[in-house]
Structure 1
């Protein structure tokens, strides 16, 4: 793609990915701040960014890019002309949108010059860990000097801006250790943070300054307030990024400077008398989210959910529909269309888990009898309240099995698969274990008996058995034998016991595993039954 066309695409992408409608939506959910991640290249001119893009195409071009950065740095040509640089313009837009909603903004340097680690998923590094290693011809750690200058410019612009809550200096340093040819005690991170703190304070800026530890933001050996090489230690905030760890308030890490566990976070705050904040948390199940929010709130610790939107993401606040391939013009056009707020789908179950009452159960959609109840429309709420699944949250980062085996549709422990079966909503509940169940809040329009139909399949030779209850009273059951591979979905029907009118809890209970369920349907009692249902 020509350079100009690429720049135009990304300019459109940034304009559409987050705009005022997105911020208004976030505020409407009850959030009071936005952590705004940004890439340092947004503060380069178009010409400077062209040199960086050239380096991204081949490792052979990296040295030339570093030489260019060094020249621009020495000649005072980096991050100047702030009114015309994309980064400052975009920050100012978000500040305006957030202020209109009484929300704060945290400025987060998410991709630092040179890359703060080795994980390309969260870095901008042509060579891993270059932020900590790369020296220019004069022997300077040039990427660090550039990082300091960027924060000097940011502080000079926003030092008196009350809309900004904190500066998040560097997102998730990691693998800064002896195995990478660096210190094992965060000496390099200490030096950079000390320089950044001093540089910001020289601007007369007293904003809160958020520090992120090694190991993806959590490990603070040699980074405690007494170890930093600064005189003014006021307004420092220590960060944790909580992913795939226990929410048990008694769980501890033997390293007191490792802060992702709640007990360590609380103890660190008490020991050093500093504020703590969870700068990122997410990418787990709704059950984990609810537990995390409850635990953090009980200790008066704030948090920020990662992330706002993701393509076909079930853990984000908003879901972006699939767009194809960014390598094709059609895919790029679809992506630009799909990332706009009006095209996104709110993940209502995620939002409810993050913002709703901890032990509440609410309808996912309005369900009526007679009518069709899609299996995936079970109630909102925690495991054991709205549903029961044997594996509903991930509390060990080494355990990579998804809590939702299909990782689609919803974000609970319930396992869901895509299906093109007739009359479905595109999904079915699958991999149901014995003893698991789902609650559905239903309204029975007319009292009386009904015919209960179920769209099911069973890939196993062992019969499965599903029990349907209303207010914990059995009203019908299905024995699902192995279904043919050529036409796996079958419809079974059984008569129900008389149902009372009004609002009730319908429960799908798994007595014997093996079946997948697309939907249940209640019709008038004149519908004939099929053999095999009970």
Structure 2
């Protein structure tokens, strides 16, 4: 007989009651946070809360955190998290690797990051995660063996058989109190609920990998989710995916802080070219299983489906085709990158829904909510146009991404850290990813949250004083600046809108420079007819001398007009400079400037110049010289 059974009944009841009371006390903070949010559900083509009020989810992805992607961390040659881990394991033990990743996860996103996102006005966070966070640390050691030898099919097969054994013995995803994945989700839910923000749970790296792109789904063999069978002939990765969502559903089925379950991120290349069907039959089968599994637990959370072709193509995945009894609370996803924002642009395939016209038509035809789970990786001009189009249709969206090393398109910019494969680089990375070390990209925030026609200062600029050329105003193309190529609308055209891809995220081309003194950047590649605007405060009226730090690689002079409130007040002619003296300072007279707030404009009459800074100095005897100062 067990010791507890030998206790008197009243003691057993007393201790049981005390345990329940302690559990309630521990859960009270979480219950209080959850009560601030309402469980969401679908009502026709809208997402509404428990009172029937429409909720449009607009927020940020926290990619690169629970699944490392090479381009986010500037480790592109390593290609995926598994390959990063394999590189690290050349010089680190398994235990040291686990310790590093534990610290990385502790630093990359914290409550301070979520509080900052909320302060910008966003109401949700999409949480991309790797399935391996729901393995025990001992189980992850088996996956590490494949990372050490990724090209050996026997190590992959051994890992698959280990998964099969754990699956059959019910040893997968069971310790919900201690597994890293559940613990982190719980933490994020608390952080977000404290800010009245919802969370979307996104299985970004599914077991086996949902496509070819290792960066996204961290696969060992492409498309194994759809193709890999174990020795019993089962599509074992699909069985494991279903079980993971059963465990997630069991834990969160009544949690209103969770807005949606995003079953599988961006399945792609699931097609005959890779030995699969031409009508998404495999995707339909797995989605139907997942919906039935979640609904079988009396879980009515919104479930988000992602189409083939990186989340956008829904042939054979429309509500009438799904093999489910309960079609309630299904949301359809689009991922919008490098495509037109013109509301009239349409794809001839009505089931390809990344274009605005198709997205709206699909929603209205099937009377289901639609949501853009990822959008970004473009210029501010494109962001503003995309947000304007989506907001006008009450379609929610989630920007990609929160953080990126040297990223100009993310909400926060992480400083360069070196190599993740060195101890010094890892130490710098762990430091630099912390919120307090990151730099907000204010122009990105303004493009996503500001009115479409507003121009606002990027910096407080005064005359007399120095104006860095790259500190032009924030706003859309044609309002704050004019550039001939200000947004990328064709995924086949990979040319960046900002040739240097540094400092700002507009069409204006910016290059890093070593010239001193400067802010380290200069406007470059200025074509005829392009211009930039600066909001300036003239604190001392009068006549000025304008000095400009310039460069000209062309063999013909470049010319810039200087305007104040559309009136030409001076002109800059920049002769060709030399390789030995690439940057020179020129000085020209400026007509009298009135006091007050004005718009200063630099207009390109003839191309060729690069511009670092302008300096306005009061002068009664202006000069006109060019030399290498």
TM over 0.5: same fold? yes
1:8-65 Cα offsets, whole Å, 9 max, x none, are 1111111110000000000000000000000000000000011011112213211100
Contact 1:321 1:338 in 2 (8 A): yes
Asked if 1:166 is matched to 2:260, the reply is yes
Asked if 1:289 is matched to 2:383, the reply is yes
Contact 1:479 1:532 in 2 (8 A): no
Distance, in Å, in 2 between the alignment partners of 1:109 and 1:285 is 27
Contact 2:589 2:624 in 1 (8 A): no
Distance, in Å, in 2 between the alignment partners of 1:514 and 1:500 is 31
Asked if 1:450 is matched to 2:541, the reply is no
Partner of 1:438: 532
Asked if 1:262 is matched to 2:356, the reply is yes
Contact 1:37 1:107 in 2 (8 A): yes
Q: How does 1:449-528 map to 2 (within 5 A)?
A: 449-525=543-619
Asked if 1:322 is matched to 2:396, the reply is no
Q: How does 1:235-274 map to 2 (within 5 A)?
A: 235-274=329-368
1:320-350 Cα offsets, whole Å, 9 max, x none, are 0000000110000000000000000000000
User: What runs of 5+ residues in structure 1 fail to find an aligned partner?
Assistant: none
Distance, in Å, in 2 between the alignment partners of 1:124 and 1:499 is 60
Which of 180, 197, 219 pairs up with 1:86? 180
Query: What is the deviation of 1:526?
Result: 5.2
Q: Tell which has more relative contact order, 1 or 2 (C-alpha 8 A, sep 6+).
A: 2
Cα distance change of structure 1 residues 526 and 11 upon mapping to structure 2, 3 Å threshold: farther
Which of 414, 419, 437 pairs up with 2:513? 419
Distance, in Å, in 2 between the alignment partners of 1:209 and 1:233 is 10
Partner of 1:50: 141
Task: Give the TM-score taking structure 2 as reference length.
Answer: 0.84
Q: CA RMSD in A?
A: 0.9
Query: What is the deviation of 1:527?
Result: 7.2
Aligned length: 533
Q: How does 1:94-243 map to 2 (within 5 A)?
A: 94-243=188-337
Q: Secondary structure at the match of 1:83?
A: coil
Contact 2:585 2:626 in 1 (8 A): no
Contact 1:389 1:413 in 2 (8 A): yes
Partner of 1:17: 108
Query: What is the deviation of 1:114?
Result: 0.4
Distance, in Å, in 1 between the alignment partners of 2:626 and 2:320 is 73
Q: Secondary structure at the match of 2:288?
A: helix
Query: What is the deviation of 1:530?
Result: 3.5
Partner of 1:4: 95
Partner of 2:480: 386
Query: What is the deviation of 1:451?
Result: 0.7
Query: What is the deviation of 1:532?
Result: 5.3
Query: What is the deviation of 1:529?
Result: 2.0
Partner of 1:39: 130
1:140-197 Cα offsets, whole Å, 9 max, x none, are 0000000000000000000000000000000000000000110010000000000000
Query: What is the deviation of 1:271?
Result: 0.8
1:419-438 Cα offsets, whole Å, 9 max, x none, are 01111100000000000000
- Structure showing greater radius of gyration is 2
Distance, in Å, in 1 between the alignment partners of 2:464 and 2:540 is 8
Distance, in Å, in 2 between the alignment partners of 1:159 and 1:192 is 20
Q: Secondary structure at the match of 1:204?
A: coil
Distance, in Å, in 1 between the alignment partners of 2:93 and 2:447 is 44
Contact 2:335 2:373 in 1 (8 A): yes
Q: Secondary structure at the match of 1:228?
A: coil
Which of 121, 141, 145 pairs up with 1:30? 121
Contact 1:478 1:532 in 2 (8 A): no
Distance, in Å, in 1 between the alignment partners of 2:624 and 2:419 is 45
Partner of 1:369: 463
Q: Secondary structure at the match of 1:175?
A: coil
Contact 1:249 1:263 in 2 (8 A): yes
